[in-house]
Amino acid sequence: MPADKQVDGKDVAEHNSRDKGVWIVVHGKVWDVTDFLDEHPGGAEIILKYAGMDATEEYEPIHPPDAISDNLDPDKNIGTLIPNTLPKPAVVSPPPPPASIAVPQKSTSASAQPEPEEYVKPDIEEMLSLHDFEAVARRIMNRRGWNYYSSGADDEITMRENHNAYHRVWFRPRILRNVKTVDFSTKFWDFPTSMPVYITATALGKLGHPEGEVALTRAAGKEDIIQMIPTLASCSFDEMVDASVPGQVQFLQLYVNSDRARTKKIIAHAKERGVKALFITVDAPQLGRREKDMRTKFEGAAASHQEKGKDTVRRDQGAARAISSFIDPSLNWADLAELKEAAQGMKVVLKGVQCWEDAVMAAEAGCDGVVLSNHGGRQLDFAPSPIAILPSVVAALQQRGFMTPHATRGKFEIFIDGGVRRATDVLKAIALGATAVGIGRPMIYAMSTYGEEGVRKLVQILRDEFEMNMRLIGAPTLADVVPGMVDTRALFTPGPEPTMYDANYERMLPVGVKAN
């Protein structure tokens, strides 16, 4: 059927079941997805829910724009929907904010149903720290987006520990050093950047902001920091590269697909578009259980599981589960050579290393670096915080000659991510031997609350913090931030009471119990 055929909404509405055929509308185009139902990485159920309807709103945040045309044959494009001919589905009201943060209600004697007080988003100039973006995000993001980004695995012990561990590293500040000017620009390998912080990969940006990840790209370009492009972005890879300015350095985070040909195609395309480094995620052979995400996304909806198809994975539980089934759990060390060869010309880094033995194996396998990461506490609960394992990783790599002494860092770079909220956190990581630190959630919260300007503001806040804190520890350059500037003796003992989580995150509650 010719793709420019005009299709009446009534015809679409009639194709609403496996028996009658399943048509859906996305961005004004009508697609026949009947044969694709059981191939859909997100499962058949979610498509069937939109059978005969316009699925654009559901589709948009969790698929890059080219996902349909990449996966369906052109003859499955039935044509273009004639505007305003599709019967309207029942209106679904936007999800309420989490009950635990519901604002106090005005008491009014005139009405039995008091109106909730409206939350007034603060002016961006009121943002003083990275925590502030999270606090605003929690109030204004829709529930689905907030629960997806804010959730951690199981009891969220690792997610909290990632941040809390920084509270147990203390500085040993030096005095009377000339800190009139401080310089915190640095290089990742030979790629210069304005600070030792990059935007790490986070999926599904349009759950937070309609522009999605291109807002991060633009902010990174303007503030001269490096962005790691996620495999599972809401924007397409090309949109993110097209949004960069000339000379802007971008990395790519890669989930390795069971279909290796697809992965190689992605790598080749990234190389062609000038991506400088490939960060292969190695901590997610299966997605962790983020119960807050799983529970709330389908609150009130009937439970679902894939009826037919290749496996029995439930895909209705949370945004990430819906789209992660392509990730290859059989990926192992023997596959690295092939991936490295495909990536020749780009740096290759393993993202998600959680002990020194694996960091050494990565170096021995010829990788250019590692990211000590537990995926923001979203995968294995009780994985250690990256800052706690950093000293042992550095020691092991130095012993084996993969890292030269701190001030003249070698070619093997150590990045860390998870729980970073302050420039002091970053400086602690630098002192202990990291090249730089990835920031994920706060970037997404800044984007979700104030768009590109929010992300720029976040970077500016960090810049101010770097300048002040480097003066206060007596380090005019990052080369002066050496191991002797930190005291890690408390790292493995209980430390100060955590602060962030009580303010910005709610405790997880069992099914059916409302937070208060």
Q: What are the residues binding ligand 173 (CB under 6 A)?
A: 203, 232, 284, 287, 320, 323-324, 375, 378
Residue written as tokens 């990211």? Answer: 371
Cα 488 from chain centre: 29
Q: Are 140 and 119 in contact (CB under 8 A)?
A: yes
Known catalytic membership, residue 305: no
CB of 356 to ligand 173, least distance (A): 24
Tokens of 384: 């250690």
> 436 and 369 in contact (C-beta within 8 Å)?
no
Contact between 169 and 473 under an 8 Å Cβ cutoff? The reply is no
H helices, E strands: number in the chain? 18, 17
Positions of E strands within 249-342: 250-254, 277-281
**Beta-carbon count within 10 A of 78 CB:** 22
Q: What is the DSSP letter of 488?
A: -
Q: Report in angstroms how near the CB of residue 319 gets to ligand 173 at its nearest.
A: 7
CA distance 363 to 344: 16
Q: Give phi and psi for 193, each to the nearest 5.
A: -155, 160
Q: Point out the catalytic residue in the list 50, 163, 375, 417.
A: 375
Here the tokens at position 277 are 């480094």
- We find the least distance from the C-beta atom of residue 324 to ligand 173, in angstroms, to be 3
Q: Which residue is nearest to ligand 173 (CB)?
A: 324
Spell out the alpha helix ranges (H) of 197-297: 214-223, 237-242, 260-272, 291-297
487 DSSP assignment: E
* Residues with Cβ within 8 Å of residue 265, at least 6 apart in sequence: none
Radius of gyration of the chain (CA): 24
Side chain identity, residue 434: A
Nearest Cα to Cα of residue 36 among 26, 23, 54, 19 = 23
Q: Which is nearer to ligand 173, 7 or 444 (CB)?
A: 444
Rounded to an integer, what distance in angstroms lies between the CA atom of residue 445 and that of residue 135? 9
User: How many Cβ atoms sit within 10 Å of the Cβ of residue 510?
Assistant: 7
Q: Which residue has the tokens 């003083």?
A: 128
Distance from the first to the final alpha carbon of the chain: 55
> Tokens 């990788």 — which residue?
367
Q: Which is nearer to ligand 173, 63 or 428 (CB)?
A: 63
375 catalytic per annotation = yes
If you count them, how many residues does the chain have?
Answer: 516
Q: CB of 45 within 8 A of CB of 28?
A: no
Answer positive or negative: Cα dihedral of 59, 61, 62, 68: positive
Q: Which residues are catalytic?
A: 255, 283, 375
